[in-house]
Structure 1
Amino acid sequence: MTQTIDHVALLPAYLAAGTAVLVLLADLLVGRRAATAAVAMLGAAGTAVGAVLVGRGADRETFCTVDGCSWLATSRGALVGTVFAVLTLGVLLLSGPLLRAGAVPAGEYCFLLACSMTGGVVLGAAGDLITLIVALETLTIPLYILVGLRRRTVASAEAAMTFFLVSVVATAVTLLGAALLYAVRGTLHLAALAAAPALEAGAEARLGRVAVVLLLAGLAFKVAAVPLHAWAPATYDGAPLPVAAYLSTASKLGGVVAVIAVVVDGLGPWLAVSGPALAVLAVLTMTVGNLVALRQTRMVRLLAWSSVAQAGYILAPLGAAVAVAGRDADALSVAVAATVAYAVFFVVLELAAFASVVALRPADADGGEITAYRGAGRRHPFVAAAFVLALVGLAGLPPGLAGLFAKVVVVRSLLDGGAGWLAVVVALNAVVGLAYYLRVCGTLYAAGDVAGTARRVPWSVGLALGGATAVAVVVGFAPQTILDAVQL
C-alpha cells in the first residue's frame, strides 16, 4: 500500500531535531558559548510553539498500516511536546553559569539536550511500541553523557556509569516484554493491541501476562519506581545541577507518558495484570521514597528521594483505576487526567526547586549538604521564598496551590474509583513527606551564616526560577486548564 506522510503532524519533531543540527553548526562555525546556547534556546522555544500550533488543530495521524498508526498527533501529544520543550528551555537557562565557567563544553552540552528533547517530543506522539521505546532511548541516551560531563569529578563518572548500567538492563527487560507481546499478538501497534480479544487461558495467555510484567518493570526504571529506583539519588547527586534538574523532571515525565501509553492505549486485554502491578508499584514507591528521604543530609539526594516518592503519587490513580474499574472508559479517562495533571504540576515545582538550588550554589558546585543552606533566606530572600513555595507545593500545602490541587486530584480520583485504601496510603505518605520538606524550609530561615556571604544570582538562573515559580502560581489558580488539556 502507498504510505503518505503528514509533515504537519511531524512539525514538532522536525523542529526539535533541527535544533540539534543547528546547535552543532553554531558551535562549529561561530564557536562562542553564548551563540551556541542562544541557538539551543531559540530552537526549544520554537519547538514549544510548533507543538502548540499542531495541538490546536484536529488530531492527525501518519505512518499508518492496516494495524494502526505509528505517529498520533493528538492534544495529549502536543501537551507532552510542549512541556518537554519548555523544560529544555528552562534547563538551558539554568546552565548559563555552568557554561560561562567552562565547566562543560557548550556545543556538546546543548546538542545532547536538544537530542534528548527530540526523544521527548516523539514519545508524546508514539503509536506503537517500537516508536515508543526508540523515543525513550533517544530521551535517555544523551543523559548518560550529560551526567558525566562534570570535568575532573569522580562522582560524576560514577553517577554516569550507574545510570548507564541500570538503564541498559531496564531497556533489555522492556524489549524482551515487547518481543513476547509481539509473539503473542503479532503486532506492536497500541491500537491493535488494545482491540485484540482477551486471552483467558492457555500458553499464550501466560506468555502475555509475563510480557506485560516485563514491559511494566522496564518502564518503571524511567519513573524511578521501586524496585528500579536506587540509581536516582546517586545519579542526581553526581550530575551537574542543571542536568539533575532535567533528569528529575523530563526523564520522569517521559516514563509517565510511556506507562500511560502502554497501559491505557495498548494493554486493555491485560488490565487485570497491569492494574494491580501499578497499584503495588505506587504504594512501594511512595513509601520507600518518603522514608529514605527523612534520613538524607545532602540537598540533591533529598530532592531525588522526594522525586521517587512523587512517582508513587503519579502512578497511584492510574493503577487504582485500571485495577478497580477495568475497561471503564470514564474511569480510565479520569485516572489519566489525574496522572498527567499531577506529573505536569510536579515537574514545574521540581524545576523551581532545582533552580533555587542552582541560584544558591556556585556555578560548578554540586548540591552540597542541607546545612550549607542555613540562613540563606536572609541573604537571598526572593530565591528562598521561591524555594519554600516549591517545597510546600511538593508537600501539598498552601500557598503552593499547584501541589495542593495535585494531591486533591489524586485522592479524589482514588475515592471515585473505589480505591479508598490507596487514598489512605497517599494521605499518610503525604504527612510523612511534610517532615523533610519543612526541615529544609526551616534551615533556609534558621539563624547563622554558614552559607556564606550573599552573591549575585545570574540573570539566566533568575529568569528560569522566576518563570518556573510564575507558572506554578498560575496553574495553581487555574488548575482546570491542565485537566481539560489532558482529558482523553
Structure 2
Amino acid sequence: MRAQTVDHISLLPLYAAAGTAVLVLLADLLIARRVVTMGVLASGGLATVVAAIVTGARVGTFCDPNGSACSWVPTPLAATSAVVFALLTVGVLALSAPSLGLGTAPVGEFCFLLAASMTGGVVVAYAGDLITLIVGLETLTLPLYLLVGLRRFAPGERVTTSGAAASVTFFLISVISTAIALLGAALNYAATGALHFDRLIEGAGVTAPVATAGVALMVIGLAFKVAAVPLHAWAPPTYEGSPLPVAAYLSTASKLGGVLALAAIVTRLEAASLTAFLALLTMTVGNLVALRQTRMVRLLAWSSIAQAGYILAPLALGADGLEAAAAYAVFFVVLEFIAFGVVAALRPPGEDGGDIASYRGAARRSPWLGAALVLALAGLAGLPPGLAGLFAKVTIVDALIDHGQTWLAVAVALNAVIALAYYVRVGALLYAAPPQVGISVADPALLEAALNPRRPVTHPVAAALITAAAAAVVLGFAPQLLFDALS
C-alpha cells in the first residue's frame, strides 16, 4: 500500500471552474457592475479551457491505496468535454448579454449559476466513480432549475410557456431521474461492492439479478437526463419556457453531461439491448414528432431528442462505440448551439423563439445569420456543407456495421432521411419571399414577418456564430482532431 497523493495539475480544470464561480460571487458583491461580473465569468471560462488543454491526458488522482482505480481520471475525452463545457458557458453568456443589459435577470445570480453548472460539467467529464459522477451531474443540473425560471423586468416580453412552470417541470423530472439512478447505483454496489468504473462488473451467482436490476435502473435514470424516449416529455415544454440562451445551454451542455454519464455506465456494463432499444425509440419518435412542430424552439427540442438517439446508437456497442458516440456528441453540441444562437440573435432580447413561420425571409434580411442557421441545420441533418454532421453520422454507421449491428445502422440512415423533411423546410423558409403587406395574411406569425422586417441587434454575437459555424465545417474534415490534440 502507498500513501494517498493528489495530483493538483490534473485538478486544474476543476480549480479554474470552481474558482470562477467564487470570483463571480465576489465581483458581484464587491464591485456590483454588470460588465465586470460578466467579464469574470468569461475570463474564468477561457481559463478553464486553457487548464483542460494543459492537463490533457495524465495519471488519475484520488486513487485507492493500490493505485488501480481513481475517482478523477484525465483522458483526452475528459479534457475535450471540459473544453466544450467551458466554451458553451462563454457562448451562452454572450447570447445572454442583450437580455441581461435590459435587466431581464439579475446579472450576479445568473453568472454564478452558469459558473456553478460549468463546474458540474467539468466534474462529470473527469469522473471515475459513481459517486463523483452523480455529484457532478447534479451540480451541472441544479443551477439550471433556477436559470430556467430566473426572469424579471421584461416589459413587452412575449412567451407562451411560464418560466416558473418550465422550471418546476424540469425540477420534478430531474429529481425523479436522480432518485432512480441512485437506487440503481445502490443495488449495483450491493451486488458487486464496486464504485469505480474500472471495477464495475456484473454480479455473479445469487447477486446477478440484483446487479442486473441496478444496471437497468441506472440506465433508465440517466436516460431522463438525455431526454431519451419514453422519458422525454419534459424537454420540449422546458426548452420552450426557458429564455433562449438557457434553452441553448439545456440542449447542449446539459445533454452532453447526461451522455457522458450514460456512456460511463453502458460502456462498462452489459446494457447493449436496453441501449439499442432506447436509441431506436428515441431517434424515431423525435424525428416523427418534429415533423409536426410549428414553434421553432419545440422543433429544435424534438430535433435534439432525435440527435440523442443517434448518440445512443453506438453506445449499444459498449466500449467499442464510445469513440464514435463521443465524436458525434461533440459535433452535435457545436451545431445545436449555433442553431439556438442564431434563433436568439434573430429574436429581440427577452422574447421566445416564436413560430417557425415568423422566420420567413429572415435570411434575406440577415444573410450571415441565415447562412449560419442553414449550415447548422445541414450539419444536424448530415448534409453538405455541414461536413461535421455528415462525417459524424458516417462514423456512427461505420461503427455499427463493423460490429454486426446492421439493423441499427439502417435505422440511423432511415431516420436521417426522415429528418431531412423538417430541416429542409426550415432552411427553405429562411430564404422564401416575405408575404405582401397589402394582402390578407391568416397566420399572425406571417403578418409579423411582413410588418417587422427588423435586423438583429446582436451583431457581435452573429460574428461569433459565423466563426463557430466555420470551425464546425473545418472540424468535419478531421473528426479525431480534438481527441488527438489532447492525447
- Give the TM-score normalised by structure 2: 0.92
Deviation per residue, 1:183-213 (Å, 9 max, x gap): 111221111224xxx44543x1011110000
Alpha-carbon distance change, 135 to 91 in structure 1, aligned in 2, over 3 angstroms: same
**Letter in structure 2 aligned against 1:61:** T
Contact 2:375/2:386 (8 A) holds in 1: yes
Match of residue 124 from structure 1: 125
Deviation per residue, 1:423-454 (Å, 9 max, x gap): 11111111110011111111111111542223
Matches within 5 A, 1:357-396: 357-396=343-382
SS of 1:62 mapped into structure 2: strand
Unaligned runs of 5+ in 2: 436-447
Match of residue 399 from structure 1: 385
Deviation per residue, 1:149-198 (Å, 9 max, x gap): 1237761111001000000000000000011011111221111224xxx4
Match of residue 444 from structure 2: none
Give, in angstroms, the shift of residue 485 of structure 1.
6.0
2:252 paired with 1:220: no
Match of residue 101 from structure 1: 102
1:263 to 263, 266, 282: 266
Matches within 5 A, 1:300-315: 300-315=297-312
**Letter in structure 2 aligned against 1:241:** L
CA distance in 2, matches of 1:462, 1:24: 29
Deviation per residue, 1:391-412 (Å, 9 max, x gap): 0110111111011111111111
Give, in angstroms, the shift of residue 260 of structure 1.
1.4
Match of residue 239 from structure 1: 242
**Letter in structure 2 aligned against 1:289:** G
SS of 1:479 mapped into structure 2: coil
SS of 2:480 mapped into structure 1: helix
1:229 to 229, 232, 252: 232
Alpha-carbon distance change, 379 to 110 in structure 1, aligned in 2, over 3 angstroms: same
Give, in angstroms, the shift of residue 464 of structure 1.
3.4
Match of residue 400 from structure 2: 414
CA distance in 1, matches of 2:381, 2:333: 14
Deviation per residue, 1:448-473 (Å, 9 max, x gap): 15422232432442243123212212
CA distance in 2, matches of 1:224, 1:52: 30
Matches within 5 A, 1:343-362: 343-362=329-348
Aligned CA-pair RMSD: 1.6
Alpha-carbon distance change, 483 to 422 in structure 1, aligned in 2, over 3 angstroms: farther
Match of residue 53 from structure 1: 54
Alpha-carbon distance change, 59 to 464 in structure 1, aligned in 2, over 3 angstroms: farther
Give, in angstroms, the shift of residue 120 of structure 1.
0.6
Match of residue 418 from structure 2: 432
CA distance in 1, matches of 2:203, 2:477: 46
CA distance in 2, matches of 1:17, 1:200: 41
- The worse-fitting range, judged by mean Cα deviation, of 167-176 and 84-93 is 84-93
SS of 2:73 mapped into structure 1: strand
CA distance in 2, matches of 1:412, 1:101: 49
Matches within 5 A, 1:147-296: 147-151=148-152, 155-194=162-201, 198-199=202-203, 201-202=205-206, 204-264=207-267, 266-267=268-269, 271=270, 274-296=271-293
2:466 paired with 1:469: no
Contact 1:93/1:463 (8 A) holds in 2: no
Contact 2:3/2:65 (8 A) holds in 1: no
Match of residue 457 from structure 1: 457
Give, in angstroms, the shift of residue 484 of structure 1.
4.1
**Letter in structure 1 aligned against 2:30:** L
Alpha-carbon distance change, 463 to 108 in structure 1, aligned in 2, over 3 angstroms: farther
Alpha-carbon distance change, 187 to 479 in structure 1, aligned in 2, over 3 angstroms: closer
CA distance in 2, matches of 1:280, 1:173: 19
Q: Identity over aligned residues, as a percent?
A: 61
**Letter in structure 1 aligned against 2:416:** A
CA distance in 2, matches of 1:239, 1:61: 38
Give, in angstroms, the shift of residue 59 of structure 1.
3.2
Contact 2:77/2:483 (8 A) holds in 1: no
Contact 2:5/2:61 (8 A) holds in 1: no
Unaligned runs of 5+ in 1: 323-331
- The worse-fitting range, judged by mean Cα deviation, of 449-458 and 39-48 is 449-458
Match of residue 25 from structure 1: 26
Contact 2:191/2:203 (8 A) holds in 1: no
SS of 2:476 mapped into structure 1: helix
Deviation per residue, 1:280-321 (Å, 9 max, x gap): 0000000010011011100000000000000000010111x2
2:441 paired with 1:444: no
**Letter in structure 2 aligned against 1:383:** L
Matches within 5 A, 1:325-336: 332-333=319-320, 335-336=321-322
Contact 2:61/2:73 (8 A) holds in 1: yes
**Letter in structure 1 aligned against 2:278:** L
Match of residue 325 from structure 1: none
CA distance in 2, matches of 1:471, 1:19: 26
Deviation per residue, 1:31-51 (Å, 9 max, x gap): 111111111000000001100
